[in-house]
């Protein structure tokens, strides 16, 4: 389908995962020019906008209101207004709300424009020292039950390098589960990427599990683990 003249564009704007200087010139230009910004975390987005002197109307857009906001954003686009979608940090729709909006916009024949930039997935992988030519990204594991078990079994069969997101609170449990299902593989824990206390913890799962007993991590965590094909 071709976009009808007069309809707006949906911009998927990647934002810093920590350091506010990790934003592209193109992203700043788009944020200055769009009519509305739809943000997963409006407080965090306002910090970024204030830092760069940008003032634009902001809508909240998160998992709980995604269905309702999608209809509102479609209406704005139909009116010819440009909308920027931002997630909490990094690239929108990657393990974050938004893909349903993108699908709906495309089904209407309207334009979706990616504005590339930071993503914890690639930042962690590139600095992990594990193979980078092929990888599987699994986002956050289901918290418990059969869904978690099935996902862990899927990870255990993954031949490429494995990448996961996890919260510091749930990290010890997830590392134990990975050891149980995948064996004692090499792993890198990337913490607070691009921030002041950025850290990479490297070793075999069993070693890192023991290390985690002596410390309590804070901040966002990305797990990079060798895949079955690299053993």
- Per-residue pLDDT, 1: 39
Residues of the chain within CATH 3.40.1010.10 domain(s) are 9-118
Superfamily of segment(s) 121-230 = Tetrapyrrole methylase, C-terminal domain (3.30.950.10)
What topology does CATH give the domain 9-118?
A: Cobalt-precorrin-4 Transmethylase; domain 1 (3.40.1010)
Distance CA 41, CA 119 (A): 16
In the chain, % of residues over pLDDT 70? 97
- Per-residue pLDDT, 217: 87
In this model, does residue 5 exceed pLDDT 80?
A: no
pLDDT digits (tens, 9 = 90+) for 12-61: 999 999 999 999 999 999 999 999 999 999 999 999 999 999 999 999 99
- Per-residue pLDDT, 107: 96
Residue bearing the bigger pLDDT, 229 or 228: 228
- Report yes or no on whether pTM surpasses 0.85: yes
- Per-residue pLDDT, 6: 82
- Per-residue pLDDT, 4: 56
pLDDT digits (tens, 9 = 90+) for 53-86: 999 999 999 999 999 999 999 999 999 999 999 9
Residues of the chain within CATH 3.30.950.10 domain(s) are 121-230
- Per-residue pLDDT, 2: 42
- Per-residue pLDDT, 148: 97
Residue bearing the bigger pLDDT, 25 or 215: 25
- Per-residue pLDDT, 97: 87
3-state secondary structure the chain: CCCCCCCCEEEEECECCCCCCCCCHHHHHHHHHCCEEEECCHHHHHHHHHHCCCCCCEEECCHHHHHHHHHHHHHHHHCCCCEEEECCCECCCCCCCCHHHHHHHHHCCCEEEEECCCCHHHHHHHCCCCCCCCEEEEEECCCCHHHHHHHHHHHHHCCCEEEEEECCCCHHHHHHHHHHHHCCCEEEEEECCCCCCCEEEEEEHHHHHHHHCCCCCCCCEEEEECCHHHC
- Per-residue pLDDT, 231: 62
Least confident of 109-123, 158-172, 214-228: 214-228
pLDDT digits (tens, 9 = 90+) for 96-128: 889 999 999 999 999 999 999 999 999 999 999
């Amino acid at each position: 389908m071709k976009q009808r003249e007069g309809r707006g564009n949906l911009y998927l704007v990647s934002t810093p995962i920590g350091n506010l200087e990790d934003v592209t010139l193109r992203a700043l230009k788009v944020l200055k020019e769009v009519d509305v910004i739809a943000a997963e975390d409006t407080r965090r987005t306002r910090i970024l906008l204030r830092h760069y002197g940008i003032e634009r109307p902001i809508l909240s857009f998160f998992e709980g209101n995604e269905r309702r906001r999608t209809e509102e954003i479609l209406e704005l686009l139909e009116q010819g207004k440009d909308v920027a979608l931002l997630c909490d940090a990094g690239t929108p729709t990657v393990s974050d709300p938004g893909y349903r909006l993108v699908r709906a916009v495309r089904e209407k024949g309207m334009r979706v424009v990616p504005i590339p930039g930071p993503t914890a997935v690639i930042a962690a992988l590139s600095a992990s020292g594990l193979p980078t030519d092929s990888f599987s990204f699994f986002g956050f594991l289901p918290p418990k039950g059969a869904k978690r078990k099935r996902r862990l079994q899927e990870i255990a069969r993954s031949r490429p390098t494995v990448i996961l997101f996890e919260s510091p609170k749930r990290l010890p449990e997830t590392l134990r589960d990975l050891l149980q299902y995948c064996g004692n593989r090499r792993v890198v824990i990337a913490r607070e990427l691009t921030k002041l206390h950025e850290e990479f913890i490297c070793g075999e799962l069993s070693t890192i599990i023991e290390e985690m007993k002596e410390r309590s991590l804070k901040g966002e965590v990305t797990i990079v683990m060798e895949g079955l094909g690299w053993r």
